[in-house]
């Protein structure tokens, strides 16, 4: 799995890169192809908030005929990355279920029409 990291209003430190790679690599078990590209964008929202920093993490995976996007905003950068990863897991499962269920439904309809 090829992870492409983009940061805005932050510095891409070694720790941040290692954290992102560690958390996002867990998505590999849900994807079929090992050469899948995963785009991760992490940003610190602008300074117009009254208290604290707000971090945004976005994960984009392009699959055949579909683009899956998961986005999360949190006060903690690590929580934002974790939350977006969990949301992406749900999106991948939903995509796979649709891809598997549609042919099953069609086969079921055709069996009913025959009998």
Which of 45, 29, 34, 44 has the alpha carbon at shortest distance from 88? 29
Residues 6+ apart with CB under 8 A from 48: none
**pLDDT tens digit sequence for 5-35:** 999 988 999 999 999 999 999 888 888 777 7
Domains of the chain by start residue, with CATH: 2-114 (3.30.160.100)
Report the predicted TM-score, pTM, of the whole model to 2 decimal places.
0.81
**pLDDT at 49 exceeding the cut of 70:** no
Q: What percent of the chain has pLDDT over 70?
A: 96
């Amino acid at each position: 799995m090829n992870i492409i990291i983009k940061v805005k209003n932050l510095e891409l430190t070694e720790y941040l890169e290692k954290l992102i790679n560690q958390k996002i690599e867990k998505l590999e078990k849900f994807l079929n192809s090992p050469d899948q590209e995963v785009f991760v964008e992490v940003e610190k929202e602008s300074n117009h908030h009254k208290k604290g920093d707000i971090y945004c993490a976005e994960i984009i995976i392009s699959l055949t005929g579909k683009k899956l996007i998961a986005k999360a905003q949190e006060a903690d950068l690590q929580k934002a990355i974790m939350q977006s990863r969990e949301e992406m897991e749900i999106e991948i499962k939903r995509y796979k279920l649709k891809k598997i269920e549609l042919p099953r439904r069609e086969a079921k309809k055709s069996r009913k029409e025959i009998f």
